[in-house]
Amino acid sequence: MSDETVTIRDNSTGKEVTVPLYTPTAGPKVIDIGSVYKELGYFTYDPGFMSTASCSSAITFLDGGEGVLQYRGYPIEQLAENSSYLEVCYLLLNDRLPQKDELDDFINTVTRHTMLHEAMIRFYQGFRRDAHPMAIMVGCVGALSAFYHDHMDIHNPEHRMITAFRLIAKMPTIAALSYRHANGKPFVYPRNALNYTENFLHMMFSMPTEEYTPNPLLAKALDLIMILHADHEQNASTSTVRLAGSSDANPFAAVASGIAALWGPAHGGANEAVVRMLIDINRSGKPLQDFVDRAKDKNDPFRLMGFGHRVYKNYDPRAKLIREICHQLLNDMEATDEQQKLLDTAMALEKVALEDEYFVERNLYPNVDFYSGIIFLAMGIPMNMFTVIFAMARTIGWITQWSEMMSDETSKIGRPRQLYNGAIDLKYVPIDQR
Ligand code: CMC
């Protein structure tokens, strides 16, 4: 795999180890440190994985310096313009774009797996009415592992494909039911005549008492947002899915662990946090600069939500596209004054931050979550559902990454080590003598 090497030298003993240096098809070269412990007796230390490639993968490429994102080699801009979410799912899973009949079959199969087992539907009744829909989603996706385990062989590619179909198909149903439960609204079954995103809107918003026709503008915008969230390399939630799955765990349980990781405000939870922040700014009546100053103050935990990214040190290419969709949608839908005010505040905040030395020096740009929440609000989606939609879209990425790992014969259970700095060799003191 590699002709190049890197030599790591221990200056105190003079001992050296020469390790392979791999050249990827794109991105920085990678030092294979797998033999360092065996040869030198040392671990490597990289909290937060700042310099660590945790696996090799052929699914998604991103160049944070240039603001590039590609799925299976196709730039995200091209897919956003020409493709659909389900075609992108096909591409990610199969490593190529489908022929027309292949795509039709794929869509047909996904459409026919959207129902949940009736027993699953009763699970929802066990959640408190005010439960966060992400909590419900973690529980319900984990619960799928109790429904699909008997005949599943995770080492069989066909079974993995069936798992992928089940997840992609059922996720919108699980997501919409989380919302219906929290709102005390009757559960709505999927309708096969609708496309993927129309069906989600139908399950979210239709009432048994009235005809409901999903708005095609909203369905199209949602489809685009789903494309942009479909995969993102080895981020926190994807790495969680891989780590959980590396023990040969049930894939539904592994994906549930990814949903849990996504929930935090530093990751997928940021879309909800951004809108809450924009509302706070508008309500406060204070100048934007006050919030920018707070974000810069190291004694204040406040951060500009939707700004900054571990990998992008340039404008997040997804944020660029989402900003356009946001403008377009608010324009086409004749936004309410409140929605327009949120967008105006977001744009003004972006401008102030991008001209501020602190943000410029640290390469802090708007990320994917900065504008998406405003679009969701315009769709009538409540704030606590934003991250649920992110999870619904990212499911294809998680399951494709899991499947890639399972098909890699060299992959092992993930088992990091540590730099231990706790106490050692203490002598137990009986409780009455402490
Ligand atoms: N507001 C103010 N300062 C920030 C921000 C921010 N949003 N983001 C980073 N910084 C500062 C940070 O304080 C640090 O400054 P210094 O070098 O002086 O200590 C510097 O920029 C580097 O930040 P970091 O926290 O060390 O970088 P990281 O790669 O560990 O964190 C991040 C990345 C996304 C967690 C962080 O930028 C952040 O908390 N952003 C806000 C939350 C957010 O929008 N998350 C969504 C991420 S994109 C979608 C996704 O992953 O799901």
pLDDT in tens, 223-234: 999 999 999 999
pLDDT at site 143: 94
On the 0-12 / 13-18 / 19+ scale of CB atoms within 10 A, 223 is buried
Nearest atom in ligand 1 to the alpha carbon of residue 295 is 2
pLDDT surpassing 60 at residue 242: yes
Distance CA 15, CA 31 (A): 18
238: nearest Cα among 370, 393, 363: 393
Which is the catalytic residue, given 181, 231, 309, 316? 309
Whole-angstrom distance between the N-terminal and C-terminal Cα of the chain? 58
Q: Is the dihedral of CA 139, 144, 242, 224 positive or negative?
A: negative
Q: Three-class SS of residue 304? A: coil
- How distant is the alpha carbon of residue 352 from its chain centre? 28
Ligand 1 near 303 CB (within 6 A) = yes
Strand spans (E) along 40-133: 60-63, 68-71, 74-75
pLDDT at site 251: 96
Q: Which amino acid residue places its CA nearest to atom 49 of ligand 1?
A: 267
Tokens linked to 306: 């939707």
Q: Which amino acid residue places its CA nearest to atom 34 of ligand 1?
A: 309
Active site residue 309: yes
Q: Three-class SS of residue 290? A: helix
pLDDT band of 302, cuts 50, 70, 90: very high
Ligand 1 near 364 CB (within 6 A) = yes
> Ligand 1 centroid to 309 CA: how many Å?
6
Distance CA 113, CA 94 (A): 19
Higher pLDDT, 331 or 276: 276
> Ligand 1 centroid to 264 CA: how many Å?
13
Q: In what order do the strands lie in the sheet with 68-71?
A: 60-63, 68-71, 74-75
Q: Which amino acid residue places its CA nearest to atom 45 of ligand 1?
A: 266
Give 47-54 contacts, CB < 8 A, sequence gap 24+.
Answer: 48/310, 49/234, 49/239, 53/234, 54/234, 54/239, 54/242, 54/414
Task: For residue range 374-410, list pLDDT tens digits in order.
Answer: 899 888 899 999 999 999 999 999 999 999 999 999 8
Task: For residue range 183-201, list pLDDT tens digits in order.
Answer: 889 999 999 999 999 999 9
Task: For residue range 67-80, list pLDDT tens digits in order.
Answer: 999 999 999 999 99
Ligand 1 near 313 CB (within 6 A) = no
pLDDT band of 339, cuts 50, 70, 90: confident
Identity at 342, one-letter amino acid code: L
Ligand 1 near 269 CB (within 6 A) = no
Phi, psi of 292 (to 5 degrees): -65, -40
Give the lowest-confidence range in 99-103, 148-152, 182-186, 401-405.
148-152
pLDDT over 90 for what percent of the chain? 85
pLDDT at site 1: 56
Distance CA 312, CA 310 (A): 6
169-204 b/e (C-beta count within 10 Å ≥ 16 → b): bbbbbbbbbbbbbbeebeebebeeebbbbbbbbbbb
- How distant is the alpha carbon of residue 169 from its chain centre? 17
Look over the chain and give the mean of its residue pLDDT values, rounded to a whole number. 94
Distance CA 174, CA 388 (A): 10
Half-sphere exposure for 410 (CA within 13 Å, toward CB): 5
Distance CA 34, CA 47 (A): 17
Strands 74-75 and 16-22: unpaired
Distance CA 215, CA 222 (A): 11
pLDDT at site 149: 78
Residue 366 pairs in a beta bridge with 307
CB atoms within 10 A of CB 302: 13
Q: Which residues contact 407 (CB under 8 A, 6 or more apart)?
A: 157, 160
Ligand 1 near 235 CB (within 6 A) = yes
Residue 21 pairs in a beta bridge with 4, 31
Top mutation candidate among 307, 361, 369, 372 for ligand 1, by most atoms within 8 Å of CB: 307
Active site residue 327: no
Nearest atom in ligand 1 to the alpha carbon of residue 50 is 29
Nearest atom in ligand 1 to the alpha carbon of residue 267 is 52
